[in-house]
Structure 1
Amino acid sequence: MRRTVAEHQAAVAGLLHSAAGYRRAAADVLPLREALGRALLEDVHAPVSLPPFDNSQMDGYAVHAADLAGTAPLVVADPIPAGSVPSPLDPGTAAPIMTGAMLPAGAAAVVPIERAQPARFYSAAERAEGNPTVRLPGGIDAGSYVRRTGSDIAEGGIALRAGTLLGAAQLGLLAACGVGEVRVVPRFRVLLLSTGDEVAEPGSALAPGRIYDANTTLLEAALREAGVDVTCHRLLGDDPAVLREAFAAITADSADLVLSTGGISQGAYEVVKQALAASRVEFSSVALQPGGPQAHGTISGVPFLGFPGNPVSAMVSFEMFLRPALHGMTGVPAPRPVLEAVLAEGVDSPPAKHQVRRGVYRDGRVALVGGPGSHLLHALAAANCLVHLPEGVASLAAGDRVEVTLIGPIPSDLLATEDPVRADRAGSGGMDSAERTPS
């Protein structure tokens, strides 16, 4: 079956929503220190107002309402440190007050210390010697340098909405409100499989004709970065019987999604395709380059996705299909920023496919990194965006506008170069077999 990118995105989103083992209504109840990067399951109401009391915005003098307009010397009252409960402020007095300290009853404003005469606080010894006075400027407005109760958020107000991703600022707000724990959406669980007789574990000796397994590390990192709990299965060879045995052991209790890489294309040894020939898994050709071969369905009721085996194809598949579906399902991760950029150079694309190239975005311009090949991991590692050349586009010229999806920061080693992409393209060579066929 041939699909457009949009059709397969919808199919993957629908598949994840059918996950039998994942319950959106369930919750993980976590202390704040463990909730970073999680999504709130429900609205959180502020149990107290912020600020919880009128307090000083500055180090200065708290001034009684009756003395706002006058310029007569005021007797210096007892100082008010932060954390104390002050006595009411008498007319004709001014109380030294520290930033964040509670405003005394009767005070209507705070005058910063630098506007006082003298522009300093009296020492305890000076206050003990007599009744020191201070002159403050006249015409002070009520409320000057005062943080009013609830001016940030009122008690009972919604501090954060359900679905909010909890970052440092959000957790800081909850802590300021006195919230100690939150109910968050459970993590999605993925069982990750990699296949192929030709792949070896990184760190092992590499025999002739074999390559190191990049997909497990690549996708495990991408999934964890997206807030997913990942279980990595041991590397599986190209024996369909062994793979069928592994699939048979999968239950909804062990995973919300099974994700495999490799073995789903048109070759003679497509082990995943062979192992799942009698299953409810559909093998499709998506109008996408790289990432054309795709598989989706269920295994024993558990959602299953099959990505192509080339590493860049697997990563593009994740970014185009699985990552957006995870956000729609769990609220995590946050959507990738998508924006327009000006092409630094011309580019060709197969008009019948949505081609995704890798690029470096900076200052509104994007330069391509590497060629379209699905094996160019070095180019992927140097990129900070995906460049979209949609179906129907055969070529674009330098200066044309394209849509890009940001996937990372500008690499530091490229910041100082005038042209950050030429070196990576130089070694990409001509079109290989992976580029000539769907990947």
Structure 2
Amino acid sequence: MSSAATRTAGQDHLWSVDDHLEDILGTVRPLEPIELQLLDAQGCVLVEDVTVPVSLPPFDNSSMDGYAVRVADVAGASEEYPAVLTVVGDVAAGQAEAPYVGPGQAVRIMTGAPLPPGAEAVVPVEWTDGGIGEGPVTGMRAHSASPEGAFGQVHIHRAAEARAHVRAAGSDVKAGDRALEAGTILGPPQIGLLAAIGRATVRVRPRPRVVVLSTGSELAQPGEALGTGQIYDSNSFALYAAARDAGAIAYRVGAVADDAETLRATIEDQLIRADLVVTTGGVSVGAYDVVKEALSSVGDEDEAGGGIDFRKLAMQPGKPQGFGSIGPDHTPLLALPGNPVSSYVSFELFVRPAIRTLAGLKDVHRPTTRATLAADKALTSPQGRRQFLRGTYADGTVTPVGGAGSHLVAALAHADALIVVPESATSVEPGTEVEVVLLG
């Protein structure tokens, strides 16, 4: 671990939030790039510039259903005096060859079809009679008689300028242009662009694989009947969803009972599919804090400096935390507290940045802003602890939701922000400007 020396301060050392986060981000490294099929690369970060091999569109084509014409043949056309042209063929999208458009002629054309040779513009079908005319009549500016093989005639009621309704070759991107630059996150539009320029694969940093597991013999699975003294396992579901929201491929492991050997074996079994392991529960000072018991000695004899360090942070909620590496590949592991609010707040502050760092993203933190506190009374906070309270943010104002208790799941579900009370403050009065972490 790059910061192993800093993790020898002992169990009585009180870490700051910033130092703990710095230790994590100083250790976690972006995943190695791989070549992925286009559909598998969604959500990944591009690691190299992509150059356009072929102009897009690759040829002049029609942006409308209508008729490809010469400009001179429709000059001055009107409802009263339409131009009457001989239709010499059709051209559809994907058609390899198109008929030549000579003087007095037109070719019926479909959207996306290549502009026929000789044609200078496209007249939308709405400007015509749809090709149902029977031939020249009095008052119409008729052209030469239909040649052999003609498709009839079309009456055109409006003039068209050169290149009207024609999408020029290279008008989107030209061959040699940079389509996407390294560092781009590949969303649906980017995937579409890569496909449009003919790329079947792309070199990216893969989405991190994150294994989430809860600990506690008291945990039952949603859908099961609760036994005496049991509660439902909500943490692993919340953290699984949070990992996916952060861009990871998440795997949720069912709750593990309070048995150190079982927990150690479960984690070791999961390492084959993990770039990061996240546990929740069992990191405090209780008699059944099995995460500490199972993992405290892991890596102690590892010359590369592996192992999990359990520490106390100057924060509320989320004072007990664990961080280190495990297994032959030194897979990072973050051990979070078991109370639901503590677990989720810890994820947002520490795990989300680690996931996004693994993914190769530059911006790894939630956005922050300043907001005016709207509350009925002053907020209180313990001296020397950075407190994170749940709140709702709108139009420069933040309102607390629920209390400070780390078990208040319902209040957390209605929050979209964290109100930050700094270590130096023991109270914050209504109307005070505070720092806010935006979760939405």
Q: TM-score range by the shorter chain?
A: 0.7 to 0.9
Alpha-carbon spacing, 1:340–1:257, altered in 2? closer, same or farther (3 Å): closer
Letter in 2 for 1:314: S
Per-residue CA deviation, residues 186-212 of structure 1 (Å, 9 max, x unaligned), is 342334332223333333332333322
Q: Which residue of 2 aligns with 1:75?
A: 85
- Native 8 Å contact 1:51 1:150 kept in 2: yes
For 1:322-401, what aligned pairs fall within 5 Å after superposition? 322-331=351-360, 338=367, 340=369, 342-343=371-372, 345-346=374-375, 348-350=379-381, 352-362=384-394, 365-393=397-425, 394-398=427-431, 400=433
Q: Which residue identity is paired with 1:24?
A: E
Change over 3 Å in CA distance of 1:135–1:359 after alignment to 2 = same
**Deviations 1:378-410 (Å, cap 9, x if unpaired)?**
122223333444444541524846433133xxx
Match of 1:59 among 52, 65, 69: 65
Q: Secondary structure at the match of 2:120?
A: strand
Deviations 1:3-47, CA, capped at 9 Å, x for gaps: 333322222223322xxxx8513x252252x44333334443334
- Contact 1:190–1:258 (CA under 8 A) maintained in structure 2: yes
Deviates more, 1:63-72 or 1:169-178: 63-72
Specify the alignment match of 1:204 in structure 2.
Answer: 224
Secondary structure of 1:15 counterpart: coil
Assess, with a 3 A threshold, how the Cα gap between structure 1 residues 83 and 276 changes in structure 2: closer, same or farther: closer
1:111–1:269: structure 2 CA closer, same or farther, 3 Å change rule?
A: same
Looking at structure 2, the residues matched to 13 and 356 of structure 1 have their Cα atoms a distance apart, in angstroms, of 21
Shift of 1:310: 0.7
Change (3 A) 1:173 1:264: same
CA deviations 1:203-238 (Å, max 9, x no partner) are: 333233332222222222322343434444453333
* Distance (whole Å) between structure 2 residues aligned to residue 335 and residue 124 of structure 1: 65
- CA radius of gyration, larger in: 2
How many Å separate the matches in 2 of 1:125 and 1:383? 71
Q: TM-score, normalised by structure 2?
A: 0.76
2:342 to 301, 308, 313: 313
- Partner of residue 172, structure 1: 192
Q: Tell me which of 17, 24, 37 is aligned to 1:5.
A: 17
Q: Which amino acid aligns with 1:77?
A: V
Tell me the CA shift for residue 96 of structure 1: 4.0
Deviations 1:273-297 (A, max 9, x none): 3344444322223333222221111
Which is worse superposed, 216-225 or 56-65? 56-65
- Kept in 2, the 8 Å contact 1:42–1:163? The answer is yes
Q: C-alpha distance in 2, partners of 1:189/1:129?
A: 61
Is the 1:345–1:398 Cα contact (8 Å) retained in structure 2?
yes
Q: 1:235 and 1:129 mapped to 2: Cα distance?
A: 74
The correspondence for 1:143, drawn from 122, 143, 163, is: 163
> Any unmatched runs of 5+ in structure 2?
1-12, 136-145, 301-306
Distance of 1:401 and 1:108 partners within structure 2: 63
Aligned-partner Cα distance in 2 for 1:69–1:391:
78
Structure 1: stretches of 5+ with no match in the other structure = 408-439
What CA distance in whole angstroms lies between the structure 2 residues aligned with 1:354 and 1:254?
35
Identity of aligned residues (%): 43
TM-score by length of 1: 0.76
SS of the aligned residue for 1:328 comes to helix
* SS at 2:27 equivalent: helix
Task: Please state how far the C-alpha of 1:309 moved relative to its aligned partner.
Answer: 0.8
Structure 1 residues 272 and 51: CA distance shift in structure 2, 3 A:
same
Letter in 1 for 2:50: V
In 1, the alpha carbon distance for the partners of 2:435 and 2:100 equals 65
Q: Could you tell me how far apart the structure 1 residues matched to 2:132 and 2:385 are? A: 77
The letter of the residue matching 1:328 is: T
* 2:402/2:408 contact within 8 Å kept: yes
CA contact under 8 A between 1:227 and 1:333: conserved in structure 2?
A: no
Question: In the alignment, what sits opposite 1:433?
Answer: none
Tell me the distance in 1 between the aligned counterparts of 2:218 and 2:151: 89
Separation (CA, whole Å) in 1 of partners of 2:76 and 2:227: 90
- SS in structure 2 at match of 1:143: coil
Distance in 1 (CA, whole Å) between partners of 2:106 and 2:315 is 72
Calculate the aligned-residue CA RMSD, in Å: 3.5
- Post-superposition offset of 1:308: 0.7
Aligned residue among 15, 34, 43 for 2:27: 15
SS in 2 for 1:371: coil
